[in-house]
């Protein structure tokens, strides 16, 4: 058995490191995911970053400079993945986009789409297209009612208009303009409603048929994502007294074939303060990545060490079972 200093805070659940029978290690880093801040024009019930219009936390000019230096210095970074909050309204969005594109890197913007209709952001779709950003947008269902329940009244119709606008600009037609959608299941209100996402390919076809038929919308890929019991999802489950049983459900759905492809294996996730994490979920739960000598990793430290591949062991927690359940789950959808 692999020893770990981490105590299992969830006694009915097998510690994740025991389940995978070895420490989880990094492969070479190729993805830099940056959470630009918690400001968002929406406040969705499932939001794992607990973002919203009243939040003020965002990237500082100092950390933005460090990130630009990292982007310019390390050709091994193939993808810069921008998230939030609504990344577009947080400090540093455009400088980071433009630096990464100038180096020929893929840039992903995780957009909630509704931001296109906020004052001052009307030209974002054109900006996305000009810079060939890959747009990844949450549309948790293709049915209006289900989306509005999760994201707020009227969000579905606004999202549809935004997708039509992206299509008009060439998204999902031009091979350089990728538009991907994200599905996540509704939050369960009883144990019988626990679910992991259905087959990604089949659901993608259902989305494509429905959106094309009803709205003439095209998109490239659908990513199915499991609800991890963190952030607002954790609070919701705790209120329903389903927290422990949901962990158990995820553990019982463990699929070892997902482990080689976990997104934490090739990414660094950075917060608006320059702290470095193994993934966005660890960032939200404040579980920092560690240097080989056990210190918390930061962007300043990465620059000082002049190396991105400095993490010996990925920090795992019981919510990691959310990434390994069924076909697996990541910011890029299912894993197997």
Listed ranges 46-54, 95-103, 167-175, 302-310: which one lies at the site for ligand SF4 (CB under 6 A): 46-54
Torsions phi, psi for 162 (to 5 deg): -65, -40
Kindly state the smallest distance separating residue 10's Cβ from ligand SF4, in Å.
Answer: 14
Please state, in angstroms and rounded to a whole number, the distance separating the CA atoms of residues 290 and 265: 14
Structure tokens at 192: 């019988």
Nearer residue to ligand SF4 within complex by CB, 99 or 323: 323
Kindly state the smallest distance separating residue 227's Cβ from ligand SF4, in Å.
Answer: 12
Return the residue of 13, 29, 34, 51 that touches ligand SF4, per CB under 6 A.
51
Return the residue of 88, 204, 251, 278 that touches ligand SF4, per CB under 6 A.
278
Kindly state the smallest distance separating residue 124's Cβ from ligand SF4, in Å.
Answer: 14
Angle formed at CA 320 by CA 314 and CA 321, multiple of 5 degrees: 145
Return the residue of 31, 32, 36, 47 that touches ligand SF4, per CB under 6 A.
47
The bridge status of strand 267-270 relative to strand 221-224 is unpaired
Return the residue of 15, 85, 326, 332 that touches ligand SF4, per CB under 6 A.
85
**Contact at 8 Å (CB) between 313 and 290?**
yes
H or E, element range at 111: strand 106-111
Contacts of 238 (CB under 8 A, 6+ apart): none
263 binds ligand SF4 (CB under 6 A): yes
**Contact at 8 Å (CB) between 119 and 91?**
no
Binding residues for ligand SF4, rule: CB under 6 A, are: 40, 42-44, 47, 49, 51-52, 84-86, 112, 262-264, 278-279, 281-282, 314, 316, 319-320, 323
């Amino acid at each position: 058995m692999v020893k770990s200093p981490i105590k299992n805070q969830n006694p009915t659940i097998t510690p994740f490191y025991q389940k995978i029978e070895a420490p989880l290690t990094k492969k070479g880093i190729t993805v830099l995911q940056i959470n630009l801040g918690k400001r968002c024009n929406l406040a969705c019930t499932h939001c794992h970053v607990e973002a919203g219009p009243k939040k003020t936390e965002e990237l500082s000019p100092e950390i933005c400079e460090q990130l630009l230096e990292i982007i310019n210095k390390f050709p091994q970074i193939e993808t810069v993945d921008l998230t939030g909050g609504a990344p577009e309204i947080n400090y540093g969005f455009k400088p980071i986009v433009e630096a990464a594109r100038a180096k020929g890197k893929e840039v992903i913007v995780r957009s909630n789409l509704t931001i296109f209709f906020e004052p001052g952001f009307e030209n974002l779709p054109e900006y996305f297209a000009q810079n060939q950003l890959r747009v990844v947008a949450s549309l948790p269902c293709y049915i209006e009612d289900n989306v509005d329940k999760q994201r707020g009244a009227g969000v579905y119709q606004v999202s549809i208009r935004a997708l039509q606008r992206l299509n008009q600009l060439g998204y999902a037609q031009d091979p350089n303009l990728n538009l991907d959608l994200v599905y996540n299941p509704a939050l369960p209100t009883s144990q019988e409603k626990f679910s992991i996402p259905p087959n990604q390919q089949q659901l993608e076809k259902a989305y494509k048929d429905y959106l094309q038929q009803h709205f003439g919308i095209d998109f490239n890929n659908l990513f199915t994502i499991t609800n991890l019991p963190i952030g607002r999802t954790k609070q919701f489950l705790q209120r329903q007294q389903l927290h422990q049983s949901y962990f158990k459900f995820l553990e019982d759905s463990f699929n070892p074939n997902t482990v080689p492809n976990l997104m934490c294996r090739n990414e660094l996730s950075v917060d608006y303060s320059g702290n470095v994490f193994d993934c966005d979920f660890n960032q939200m739960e404040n579980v920092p990545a560690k240097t080989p000598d056990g210190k918390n990793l930061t962007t300043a430290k990465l620059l000082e060490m002049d190396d991105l591949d400095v993490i010996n062991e990925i920090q795992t927690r019981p919510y990691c079972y959310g990434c390994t359940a069924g076909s697996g789950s990541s910011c890029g959808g299912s894993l197997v």
